[in-house]
Amino acid sequence: MGKRHILGLTEAITISNKDGDSKSYTARIDTGATASSIDQTIASELKLGPITRIKIIKSASGIGKRPIVVATVKIGDLTVEEEFTLADRSHMTYPLLIGQNILKIGKFLIDPLKK
């Protein structure tokens, strides 16, 4: 089955653009989210883009449309290129949310007790 990477509910990650510019953040790991999300200010600072498409998102605040960009993310020793929806996450504790689209690729296991 291959090696599984164990993640906690939050993880230190590094996100990069096509030019190799990168920044590190603490991301929220959310197994209930189908898509990963990044704060639009961070996406702008890193010059992520172009917007590849628009996705309809269902969340606690209702249904909306969000633009999607592709970025490279490093979690632990695994690096993947994947889609992120752009959102205003400035009012949230974590500027990045890692959802199922990345968790499935990395074959991750989530341990809520891991710090």
Question: pTM for the complete prediction?
Answer: 0.89
Residue 72 inside a domain? The answer is: yes
Eight-state DSSP code of residue 45: H
Tokens of 108: 């991750």
Q: From first to last of its 115 residues, what are the pLDDT tens digits of the chain?
A: 567 889 999 999 999 998 989 999 999 999 999 999 999 999 999 999 899 999 998 877 788 899 999 999 999 888 999 999 999 999 999 999 999 999 998 778 899 998 7
- Asked whether residue 1 is assigned to any structural domain, the reply reads no
The closest alpha carbon to 5, from 79, 78, 114, belongs to 78
CATH of residue 34: 2.40.70.10
Q: Which two tokens stand for residue 67?
A: 């633009």
Among 44, 29, 33, residue whose Cα is nearest residue 93: 29
Q: Pick from 27, 29, 33: which is nearest to 13 by CA?
A: 27
* Enclosing H/E stretch for 26: strand 22-29
- Our count of domains for the chain comes to 1
**4: in domain:** no
Q: Residue 42 is part of which domain span? A: 19-110
Burial of 72 (0-12, 13-18, 19+ CB in 10 A): middle
